[in-house]
Amino acid sequence: MEPLTVHWRRADEPAAAHDLAHALLGPDRYARTRGVAQQAARLARAAHLDRQARRRLLACAWLHDLGAALGPGLPPVVAGRALRRAGHEDLARVVAHRGNAAFEAALRDLPPLAREFPPPRGAERSLLTLLDIAVLTTGPDGARATPAAVLRRIVEEEGGAAGPQARVVVALVARLGDDPGARALLERVAPRAA
């Protein structure tokens, strides 16, 4: 395998992003990240993304959880900083804002995320929405999951619905639910509730 610095320089390529995830994540996180990448591929097809946008979405999916392995801090922001250092500003903004990270930063009394990473706009915003749907419809084992199942697991882990992660997910579901296009894509890739 090539040195990780080479992979960081090429992190906008799905294969290099995959290699980073494989090298830096433990087996459980890697399995979940692989599931998120699979959901992202389904979403790319469903949204009829062109080749370049599909590649960027897949790279973001492989990179979205690397912050947890890179050091202390809010994981999306930590991953965004690493991508920025590697010269991938557009991907840094998407990854840093994934999963409603701005709201999570506010809940945790951290500085406003927009100070460090301007919110994605245009095509980047669309990639963020697709990435959020992929994350929200992937269980901890990497299998497809409903947003309700993902939320239920978080509530169980946090010991109640008032925890910050649960509140972040509820707000994310509400945001996606208010967007008819995002809601339709979410319903298309999520498994049917039993």
Mean pLDDT of 132-137: 96
The pLDDT-based confidence of 192 (bands split at 50, 70, 90) is: confident
- Beta bridge partner(s), residue 138: 144
Mean pLDDT of 48-55: 97
Angle between helices 164-177 and 180-189 (to 10 degrees): 110
CA angle 127, 131, 134 (to 5 degrees): 140
Q: Which two tokens stand for residue 104?
A: 């999570």
Q: Does pLDDT of 61 surpass 70?
A: yes
Q: How far is CA 148 from CA 29, 58, 153, 154, 170, in A?
A: 20, 24, 9, 10, 9
The per-residue pLDDT for 2 is 57
Mean pLDDT of 173-177: 94
Work out the mean pLDDT of the chain and round it to a whole number: 94
- Angstrom distance (rounded) from CA 141 to CA 154: 14
Query: Could you tell me the maximum CA-CA distance found in the chain, to the nearest angstrom?
Result: 45
More confident residue, 157 or 33: 33
The pLDDT-based confidence of 144 (bands split at 50, 70, 90) is: very high
Q: Which two tokens stand for residue 101?
A: 């990270």
The per-residue pLDDT for 160 is 82
Phi and psi angles of residue 144, each rounded to the nearest 5 degrees, phi first: -60, 140
Q: Give yes or no for a contact between 62 and 14, defined as CB atoms under 8 angstroms apart.
A: yes
- Angstrom distance (rounded) from CA 6 to CA 21: 14
| Upper half-sphere CA count for residue 161 (Cβ side, 13 Å) | 5
Rg for the chain, CA atoms, rounded = 15
Q: Which of 94, 170, 84, 77 is nearest to 130 (CA)?
A: 94
Q: Which two tokens stand for residue 58?
A: 């897949």
The per-residue pLDDT for 185 is 94
Mean pLDDT of 26-52: 97
Question: Worst-scoring range by mean pLDDT, 3-12, 18-27, 32-41?
Answer: 3-12
Q: Does pLDDT of 36 surpass 60?
A: yes
Mean pLDDT of 33-41: 98
Q: Give yes or no for a contact between 182 and 129, defined as CB atoms under 8 angstroms apart.
A: yes
The pLDDT-based confidence of 193 (bands split at 50, 70, 90) is: low
Mean pLDDT of 39-61: 97
The per-residue pLDDT for 194 is 56
CA angle 18, 19, 24 (to 5 degrees): 100
pLDDT tens for each residue of 70-120: 989 999 999 999 999 999 999 999 999 999 999 999 999 999 999 999 999
